[in-house]
Homo-oligomer: A and B are copies of this chain.
Amino acid sequence: MNDTFLKACRGEPTDYTPIWMMRQAGRYLPEYQKVRSGRTFLELCKTPELCVEVTLQPVDILGMDAAILFSDILIPMEAMGLELEFLEGRGPFFPQTVRDRATLDRLIIPDPDESMGFVMETVRLLRKELKVPLIGFAGAPFTCATYLIEGGSSKVFWETKKMMFTDPDLFHGLLEKITRCTTAYLLAQAGAGAQALQLFDSWAGILAPSDFEACALPYVKRIIADLKPTGLPIIYFANNGATLLEYSAASGADVIGLDWRINIGDAIRRVGDKAVQGNLDPLALLLPADRLRVRIKNLLDDAQAAKGHIFNLGHGIHQFTPPEQARIAVDAVHELSRR
Q: Which residues of A pack against B, CB within 8 Å? A: 156-158, 161-162, 165-166, 205, 207-211, 240, 242-243, 260-263, 266, 281, 283-284, 286-288, 291, 298, 314, 318, 320
Q: With a CB–CB cut-off of 8 A, which chain B residues contact A211? A: 281
Query: A288–B166 contact, CB under 8 A?
Result: yes
Could you write out 7 A-B pairs with CB less than 8 Å apart? Answer: A161-B281, A165-B283, A165-B284, A205-B261, A208-B260, A240-B261, A243-B266
Task: Determine the residue in chain B with the shortest Cβ distance to A241.
Answer: B261
Q: With a CB–CB cut-off of 8 A, which chain B residues contact A205? A: 261
Task: Determine the residue in chain B with the shortest Cβ distance to A245.
Answer: B243
Residue A261 contacts which of B156, B243, B288 (CB distance < 8 angstroms)? B243
Query: B166–A286 contact, CB under 8 A?
Result: yes
Q: With a CB–CB cut-off of 8 A, which chain B residues contact A291? A: 165
Q: With a CB–CB cut-off of 8 A, which chain B residues contact A243? A: 242-243, 261-263, 266
Q: With a CB–CB cut-off of 8 A, which chain B residues contact A281? A: 161, 208, 211
Task: Determine the residue in chain B with the shortest Cβ distance to A286.
Answer: B165
In the complex, A287→B287 CA distance in Å?
A: 45
Residue A283 contacts which of B158, B210, B240, B320 (CB distance < 8 angstroms)? B158
Task: Determine the residue in chain B with the shortest Cβ distance to A168.
Answer: B291
Which 3 A-B residue pairings sit nearest by Cβ, starting from the closest? A161-B283, A243-B262, A242-B243
Task: Determine the residue in chain B with the shortest Cβ distance to A246.
Answer: B266
Closest Cβ–Cβ distance, residue A10 to chain B (whole Å): 28
Query: A166–B287 contact, CB under 8 A?
Result: yes
Closest Cβ–Cβ distance, residue A303 to chain B (whole Å): 14
In the complex, A333→B32 CA distance in Å?
A: 55
Q: With a CB–CB cut-off of 8 A, which chain B residues contact A286? A: 161-162, 165-166
